[in-house]
Structure 1
């Protein structure tokens, strides 16, 4: 019986024509790798969702109900959905740390209004408008402004007023609130004449949630992109260690964490230099009115949406939705961005229309285990491409050879037998590489074919070992030309 049937047994005597289906060759090596995204963040008491319980999110309205209007998580998910409506998204919420402290800032109003107008105040990129009537005194203006802040259900801050001073408090306890931007007249509005406004930036927030609890809540579910809103050392160390373990050959549920941070150029450089993980990307948000957790959500959405289309294609020039650009004076120069890219911090640009666009997405990986400079995992495209290659190769082999026998080369087996051999395994590896080449993910497949090793394991004769020296396709990041001229 040379044909290896899966279901039809040889002991049939009842007359009939029996036929079984075999789907092992139905699909090629190029398969869809469905992404699953996880957005993490803090919730408010008004949210109905229990903390540390993963929940699938299908709309920003659902997120508001589950996590509370104005919460970090609801805002992150709203921004995510603006930039990616197609990828499956889950969320894990966590309550504020009981021992944490909320960040605060102040707005001090002085001078009586000599004209009627509108005070345009921005809290975390949200425009808050308070009416001002000619003759209004500082106390009245501050009262109106605080009321307007509290009336904005999506505001990341609440407000109180006293004798012309508005005190803003972050919705959440923790360090993230320190980066909430406060400013006037982002779009060039005018403050009513006679009124002077002095802003003291948000500060004093301490006590981020326990990252280990959030990580434990992920269980063994694979999330290809994880939006991570906390950048304190403990939180980053926790998610880095978890993702390193997930990427190993025994778990194979790898993922990439996306975070964002504000600060001076020096502060951002120090943050980047303190990290070294091929599974972490940090986009700087210097000068942006939009909170860091929303910037991280934008980058995560971009990485998930476009990375699923083609993991090897660079992300440069891809636009944002819902992200407010820094004022021109606050934008880093080309040389400053270049320095950040050597520190492990990703960068953005702003086009002529004010749209924030990705300049380059990199990981924080800079050195190998021996401490030598190493650019092996510099760009985010590298771990995304490797993730797809592993997924597609495993899927290809497991579909075609789910219940096969294993034998040495050179035997005279029937052509219909379900037997894998080293020679056949090598041929399948080369066929797989050719498909990856056609998809634009690898190059130099001839050299790959010459270097592939496929052999039976010496100590375990039921095991086939393969060495796959794939040459990843690279990205067109830098073009250099020398223009020689003659007068």
Structure 2
């Protein structure tokens, strides 16, 4: 190798005889970014960790201690770990808002049982079994429910004393999210009606005020820690602007000043029309929302598993389509398993879709962002797919890391000859290096059209030690659908 060899530490002024080795690790660095997941949700006062500070969660059992059994945070961790059993998981716990009201529901029973049997209640998808006999009054059966609930982990409600044939229930965490807890009676216990019992379920309602007031400060406490996959249940009118500002491209986590990236995943109840109306009002390239209609499991559980499914896929390859990822949540009712036309409607309203197999398994079908219009108000599909955001974060991080060694070099004019081993660079050298790096990214399947990149890249030395680069990055596409024209014959 000809030219000057630049040593990072060994001084050229040394006159002491000997053989000296100076270490340069720049050619050996193969480290990659650790892609963390973060769940933002409420804790209970019984939890052992304070609110407002993100903490790493070692296990589901630890989450129950850290955030309180039955809390939003503990339940979200459990469902996240149903899908991503190994990846690094953090939780940003929040306290209930001081003005928040907890949602309430109830279970009522009337009649006299003609024989013995059992009733299997579903509370937020968790099964609670209660027995009865001919000697029982409705109040006796209702009184057994709290003890049965205590034997089932991760039920997000508490029971009060039975009064007038009704067992009142209250969400453990106050706020709007409690309204999404569903009550049902399992089909497996349908014999209770034949035995003379009538059950009346009053669904949860009345929960108000999510902890949006504490959200900005809690998010700010994340500091410079990067979290690529963020699950958050707060889609109310007060919380949505907070999420949009924190991850925006101007001063947020996607801005040039932070470059921390990350994407928020959420889920919501509602009819097709209600979800479509919601989607029409949201426009955020860093937010993905999955409507889940009347699934027995809450949106909190859905978003936790969706976030985990994305994390698992992206750690393998950020360009892989996030589809056919099986979840463990229960599907909605048959009437809410959407037709092809209805699914397409949601996708044009900025909302994501799922599939349901014959055995009831729910799987992610397609994840898109809620971004639909540009700043001028025109339709814009630039940020349509959630995968695009993952790919851009990966490529930007790669090119930043690739060029980091240049920050300890001298910058000379484009016409200056640079011998091999020199500690100087110029714009043409950087340009060729970027073209070479882009081709390596193309070989890895992260980007495409390297010829176009090489023809259109611009690297300029604008003086005072500053380089400006225009990089025509073309991320790889995902296979979405295959249309076959079947031109059959009859001979």
Q: How does 1:12-51 map to 2 (within 5 A)?
A: 12-27=14-29, 32-51=32-51
Query: 2: CA distance between counterparts of 1:353 and 1:61?
Result: 30
Q: Decide which of 407, 416, 420 is 1:415's aligned counterpart.
A: 420
Structure 1 residue aligned with 2:197: 195
The aligned residue for residue 287 of structure 1 is: 294
Q: Is the 8 A contact 1:43 1:72 kept in 2?
A: yes
Deviation for aligned residue 1:334: 2.2
1:250 aligns with 2:254: no
Gaps of 5+ in 1: none
Give, in angstroms, the shift of residue 294 of structure 1: 1.3
Contact 2:119 2:189 in 1 (8 A): no
Q: Secondary structure at the match of 2:380?
A: coil
Q: Deviations over 1:155-211 (max 9, x none)?
A: 111123222212211111100010101101155754362111121211111011122
Shift of 1:152: 3.3
SS at match of 2:374: coil
Q: In the TM superposition, what whole-angstrom CA distance separates every residue of 1:103-140 from its partner, at most 9, and x where no partner exists?
A: 11122211111121110000001001101112422222
Q: Which runs of 4+ in 1 moved over 3 A?
A: 150-153, 186-190
Tell me, in whole angstroms, the C-alpha distance in 1 between the residues paired with 2:159 and 2:418: 80
Say yes or no: does 1:306 pair with 2:321. no
**Kept after mapping to 2: 8 A contact 1:143/1:162:** no
Give 2:169's aligned residue. 168
Q: 1:148 to 1:407 in 2, by over 3 A?
A: same
Identify the residue that residue 351 of structure 2 maps to in structure 1: 345
> Counterparts of 1:250 and 1:38 in 2: how far apart (Å)?
22
Q: What secondary structure, in the 3-state scheme, does the structure 2 residue paired with 1:208 have?
A: coil
Q: Write the distance in 1 (CA, Å) between the matches of 2:5 and 2:418.
A: 10
Give the drift of 1:313: 1.0
2-side partners of 1:114 and 1:315: how far apart?
Answer: 52
Q: Which runs of 5+ in 2 are unaligned?
A: none
Q: Decide whether aligned partners of structure 1 residues 190 and 479 sit closer, same or farther in structure 2, where only a CA change above 3 A counts.
A: farther
Deviating more after overlay: 415-424 vs 122-131: 415-424
- Cα deviations by residue, 1:31-63 (Å, 9 ceiling, x for unpaired): 623111211111112111111122111101111
Q: Which residue number corresponds to residue 436 of structure 2?
A: 431
Cα distance in 2 for partners of 1:185, 1:329 equals 18
Decide which moves more: 279-288 or 369-378: 279-288
Of stretches 188-197 and 331-340 in structure 1, the one that deviates more from structure 2 is 188-197
Give 1:190-269 correspondences, 5 Å limit. Answer: 190-191=191-192, 193-209=195-211, 210=213, 211-244=215-248, 245-269=252-276
Per the alignment, in what secondary structure is the counterpart of residue 343 of structure 1? coil
User: Aligned with 2:372: secondary structure?
Assistant: coil
Q: 1:373 to 1:187 in 2, by over 3 A?
A: farther
Q: Contact 2:295/2:330 (CA < 8 Å) preserved in 1?
A: yes
Partners in 1 of 2:422 and 2:137 — Cα distance? 91
Q: Distance in 2 between matches of 1:167 and 1:331?
A: 31
Q: 1:133 to 1:384 in 2, by over 3 A?
A: same
Change (3 A) 1:39 1:156: same
Task: Give the conservation status (yes or no) of the 8 Å contact 1:55–1:90.
Answer: yes
CA RMSD of aligned residues (A): 1.7
Q: How many residues align?
A: 481
* Residue 378 (1) aligns with residue 384 (2): yes
**TM-score, with normalisation over the residues of structure 1?**
0.95
DSSP 3-state at the match of 2:208 = coil
* Alignment TM-score, normalising by the size of structure 2: 0.94
Q: 1:151 Cα deviation (Å)?
A: 4.4
Bigger shift: 264-273 or 141-150? Answer: 141-150
* Distance in 1 (alpha carbons) for counterparts of 2:69 and 2:28: 48
CA distance in 2, matches of 1:188, 1:288: 19
Q: Displacement, 1:213?
A: 3.2
**Deviation at 1:427?**
1.0
Residues 153, 476 of structure 1: CA spacing in aligned structure 2 closer, same or farther, 3 A cutoff? closer
User: Does the 8 A contact of 1:287 with 1:331 survive in 2?
Assistant: no
Q: Matches of 2:449 and 2:116 in 1, distance apart?
A: 70
CA distance in 2, matches of 1:171, 1:35: 32
Do the aligned partners of 2:109 and 2:165 also contact (CA within 8 Å) in 1? yes
Q: 1:395 aligns with which of 381, 397, 401?
A: 401
- What SS does the corresponding residue of 2:348 show, helix, strand or coil? helix
Structure 2 distance, partners of 1:187, 1:383, is 44
Write the distance in 1 (CA, Å) between the matches of 2:217 and 2:182.
29
Could you say what secondary structure the match of 2:311 adopts? Answer: helix
Q: Which among 10, 22, 29 is matched to residue 12 of structure 2?
A: 10
Rounded Cα–Cα distance in structure 1 between residues aligned with 2:451 and 2:260: 30
